[in-house]
Structure 1
Amino acid sequence: MVHSQVAPLCLVTDRSLCSVDLLPEKIAAAVAGGVTMVQVREKDLPGGELFALARAVKARIAGRALLIVNERVDLAIAAGADGVHLAEASMPTVEARRVAGANLLIGRSVHSVDAARTAEAQGADYLIVGTLYETRSKPGKTPEGLALMREISRAVRIPCLGIGGVTAHNAPEVLKAGAKGVAVVSAILSAYDAQRAARELRLAVAPLKAAK
């Protein structure tokens, strides 16, 4: 897999912030604003509904952004997604690669250098690192901070995206710590104007990414 496919601005879904029936429309607006990767992360949604959501999102973004399905390699393949994203405690990356084959992106959430190195060694294409800052998406979670991003980005060669409380204001700090991009939830899904929120984030990320 070509690691350069990994995009700099990822939107992670959360139907507690935007209902399933409105998600495809909001995602389409965010992609119009500059989101380049969409991770459908609805952990407790039944398989049939998750598949339908992934297909609806795919139809709305029409190849303008990468589509990633959380955890379900089978549904990612069936829905024609570009990749699958695994939690740190999920199936081994090497097992996901065996099922997915060479043409599906595989990402992994990590919270330590050891986990990052293991994921890379087993064939992950990118990592999502954090919770970096306090966030409404994970109330009560103690942020791991930018030090974790610095440590992990130095320890691996595959792209790292920072997540957790990332905004247009602090996104440049995340990239300076070694990230190749950012992943957000509430910064876009809680915004009244998803397209504008995405545009502000993309502008915050793009100049530094281009300089790397």
Structure 2
Amino acid sequence: MTEDLYTRAAKIFRSDLEWGIHWPYEAAGLDWTLRKKDPERYRRELDAYTRQRTAIVEWAERYGLKKSRVTCCPWWLTRSTSRRCEFSKCTHHGSGEQISDHHWLDHAICWIKDGKPAVITSSPYDISYAENYEDRVPDYGRIKWWVDSNENLSVTFGKGWYGSSTTQVVMWRNDRIPVVEPGADGGWCELMRRSRQMAYHAA
């Protein structure tokens, strides 16, 4: 990772001397032991992660976003401060309402703008029907309910940066950011698949 990318990322994500940048899950899994064990594979996977990280940083910079320390449900977006729900009310982590948002909020990240809740991104593997819903309520219907119930919420869907056959869901406060587009596909998933295939055939 270049010094420029590190400096830019540090403004978006938490960082410390021990762990460096606190990347989201999908951008944090580089195996540093490959540097000595398999330098060629390390180079390929470093390139894949650098593309992934660049895609995330450029997307966040475009909208002036920083990653919140909070992970929560869309109720978080309705607040004026970045404050997590009480467990009994959260529809993501807790037991709020009779319908959960846990399924479509897979790999969720909460983003703040000027210290206020602004965007939630998630990357569910299948958002047609949530398998853990008792009545198999369509995720699209649930997501649409949030938008229809609050004029300040908007949503869009795209490929995003996670890959692995996921769909990126982007829900945001349209009174704080008029339009938000899905993140770009950094090609991480395909690059990692090729790298591991090459390592397998070389073994």
Query: Normalized against structure 1, the TM-score is what?
Result: 0.30
Query: Normalized against structure 2, the TM-score is what?
Result: 0.31
Q: Larger Cα Rg: Structure 1 or Structure 2?
A: 2
